[in-house]
Amino acid sequence: MGAEQMIQQTWNPRYLAYCKAHGNTPEEQMSADADAFPGGKMCGFILWMGERHNEAMTRLSIPRNKGWTAQECFNLWLCRAGNQDTYTAFLFKRAEEMRA
């Protein structure tokens, strides 16, 4: 297996959800984002993930600890067993809803 094939098979699941929300393959989304964000083709993904992060804090009832930032609370929640899968499923569900 060549390096290019390995890269194609190891897309980040969060990036795949972003692509799905836009109705594109990862390669198509990279091209579209390179055109839309010439100064940084990952900008669209970063913005999209920030929006999903904010939604997840509410929709997944992620607890907020006094004195902690939302990001710190999210990171703690994400590290607990099973929450990576829960968050990935949330992203794909939102991607499907956005395409509907």
Q: Which residues 6+ apart lie within 8 Å of 90 measured at CB?
A: 52, 56, 59, 60
In this prediction, residue 53 carries a pLDDT of: 87
Q: Let me know: does 91 contact 13? Beta carbons within 8 Å.
A: yes
Structure tokens at 100: 């509907």
Give backbone dihedrals phi and psi of 16, rounded to 5 degrees, phi first. -65, -40
- Start-end of H helices in 10-82: 13-21, 26-36, 43-59, 70-79
In this prediction, residue 54 carries a pLDDT of: 87
In this prediction, residue 30 carries a pLDDT of: 94
23-75 pLDDT, tens digit per residue, is 999 999 999 999 999 999 899 999 999 999 889 988 888 888 888 888 888 88
Residue 88 has pLDDT above 80, yes or no: yes
Q: Let me know: does 17 contact 88? Beta carbons within 8 Å.
A: yes
In this prediction, residue 1 carries a pLDDT of: 45
Listed by start position, the domains of the chain span 3-99
